Structure 1
Amino acid sequence: MKNMQINHAQKGFTLIELMIVVAIIGILAAIAIPQYQDYVARSQVTRVLGEISAGKTAVEESLSRGQFPTSSDEIGLTSSNLMNGSVPAVSFDSGEAGAGYIVATFGQDASAIISTKKIEISRDDQGNWTCVTDLEEATGYIPASCENGSPN
């Protein structure tokens, strides 16, 4: 009778192979997660600026009728329709020919990096609009149309 040899082939992965895969996944996650958080914060800043900028049209319309908006409701901006629970504030002074501002403070639903920060668009008595924000320059989240400064 012939000797029967049974071939026991290795099945599965070795511990070293599994450790290498886990290390690669960890490295990829360490790179991807901060990039994703950065992307989310930038998109939130851009969206809120766009949303409060839409209020400029409503302000100009009110001013053309001789009315000076004193609340965000009057120009259609409420915290319920702004993203991230941003809290809008509006102030226009009738004594300065329509000078005033619209400011949004990022709420607690915003990215942790930008929560409690503000973006403000203000109108001077000549009708010129400017943007200012207290976002740190180092973060790179300041929109191109805004300056670093102290909003109201």
Structure 2
Amino acid sequence: MRNQKGFTLIELMIVVAIIGILAAIAIPQYSKYQAKSKVAAAVAETAALKTGVDTYLNEGKNVTAATEVGAADTSTSNCSALSASGTASSGEATITCKIANAPAQVLDKTVTWTRDASNGWSCTTDLASENTNLAPMGCGGS
């Protein structure tokens, strides 16, 4: 009688099936993780401009472009269209970012910071209702 060496075809097929099941679960979760990270990066990138906008408005200057208040350019790796505007007389301002280089559920969606003279800054997104859980805490859907 000879000793069996190696794996049988059935054992290999079971392993391939298990790997397939794990991949079917992991790939959508990874895509969700990527989308959530991209939205958080866009929120962080635009939040950094709030100080510059506040400074301009407090000095009595109107804000007409994101590059005036600290943005290096109007597009980045996270934002394809980064803009800022504000009026010193009313104290109101907005900073917007159109999300770029992201998974489909957040691609071309907008993160908006809005400044109200009496309430300060608030963050909103235009994510679809089924994707609002992708936005960071405090920056919900519009």
Any idea what SS the aligned residue of 1:100 has? strand
Distance apart, 1:142 and its partner CA: 2.7
Where structure 1 has 5 or more consecutive residues not aligned to the other structure, the ranges are: 1-6
Structure 2 runs not aligned, ≥5 long: none
Q: Distance in 2 between matches of 1:91 and 1:48?
A: 17
Indicate the residue corresponding to 2:135 in structure 1.
142
Which SS does the other structure have where 2:114 is aligned? strand
Question: For 1:88, which of 82, 102, 105 is the aligned residue?
Answer: 82
CA distance in 2, matches of 1:61, 1:50: 18
- From 23, 27, 33, the equivalent of 1:29 is 23
Q: Using the aligned pairs only, state the percent identity.
A: 42
Equivalent AA in structure 2 for residue 58 of structure 1: G
Give, in whole Å, the separation in 2 of the partners of 1:74 and 1:144: 28
Q: How far is the alpha carbon of 1:132 from its aligned partner? A: 1.4
114, 118, 136: which one pairs with 1:122?
114
Larger % of strand: which? 2
Give the ranges of 4+ consecutive aligned residues of structure 1 lying more than 4 Å apart after TM superposition. Answer: none
CA RMSD of aligned residues (A): 1.8
TM-score (normalizing by structure 2): 0.88
User: What is the distance in 2 between the residues matched to 1:67 and 1:91?
Assistant: 11
The TM-score with structure 1 as length reference comes to 0.83
Alpha-carbon distance in 1 for matches of 2:138, 2:33: 18
- Please state how far the C-alpha of 1:127 moved relative to its aligned partner: 5.9
Specify which structure has the bigger relative contact order, considering alpha-carbon pairs within 8 angstroms and separated by 6 or more residues: 2
Matched pairs, number: 140
